Amino acid sequence: MSGTNASAITGTPTLARLLGLGRPLVMGILNVTPDSFSDGGQFLDPATALARARLMMESGADIIDVGAESTRPYGNAVAVPLADELRRLEPVLPVVAGFGVPVSIDTMKPQVARWALGAGATIANDVWGLQRDPGLAGVVAEYRVPVIVMHNRERADPSLDIMGDIRAFFARSLDIADRAGIGHDNIVLDPGVGFGKTPEQSMTAIARLAELKSFGLPLLVGASRKRFIDTASPSPPDRRLGGSIAAHVLAVLNGAAIIRVHDVAEAVQAMRVLTAIRAKR
């Protein structure tokens, strides 16, 4: 299947076709990890992970994002060896890909991306925006699949002009994509809420998201259960549903085409109501 968009073979809807529906898309998060910041360990067992994925699909998820290495932004995530990441994915991702909902592979490793795209994933999601491992852009180009390019930093800098930093980061990522042969019609930009940012900078990224529309590319926002919610309304991660929905509604109003969430059913309902109300304008 090298060099082929898997969706053309499986019949899974392409990202372009989903974006053409004219409504916000909901990406459900499936972490098969022991240490993700919000749900680490809950879906490490393959049977539990598959049940979770099926529930997300039945709840209306447009995309399921599967990851096997925690990239939690606040907790010194431990790097996962390649063999362990693949071992966690092997009993889960191919089955989820067979559900008929597009699957994205959340990984920083080219080897994992290649395996996942060969196993049925149709989207690559890189939390380092093609800048951590140069080999990842080549894999994306080879398979001709969409890639989510996320802004990230090693550490937060409160003095930083965060929107300027995001724009400069995306410019570098797009240059890497160009040189690898990734078409702009296969790129989604994610400002990386919570990653390498203070809570205030994360809120700024959502409030000023419309500035990133100048790139002319779809925008994704993943604000689900992030720490900035606790800053505005103190709460543990599993009690941040209301804040997550508020942030995602604002993100869509500011130009987001996709939201990445833990609580799929509630997010789908929020997006349907938002769409219905906007249609009355």
Q: Which of 226, 272, 278, 280 is catalytic?
A: 226
Instruction: Report whether 16 contacts 53 (CB < 8 A).
Output: no
Give yes or no: 278 in active site: no
Q: Which residues contact 8 (CB under 8 A, 6 or more apart)?
A: none
Give yes or no: 88 in active site: no
- 44 φ/ψ sector (left φ>0, alpha ψ -120 to 50, else beta): alpha
SS (H, E, C) 75-91: CCCCCCCHHHHHHHHCC
Give the neighbor-by-neighbor strand order of the sheet with 147-150. Answer: 187-190, 147-150, 123-126, 103-106, 63-67, 25-31, 258-261, 220-221
Any idea of the CA torsion for 81, 84, 86, 87, to the nearest 10 degrees? 170
Instruction: Tally Cβ neighbours within 10 Å of residue 110.
Output: 20
Sign of CA dihedral 129, 135, 137, 139: negative
Instruction: Report whether 27 contacts 264 (CB < 8 A).
Output: no
* Side-chain-side CA neighbours of residue 172 (13 Å): 14
Q: Which of 87, 260, 278, 280 is catalytic?
A: 260
**Residues known to be catalytic:** 226, 260
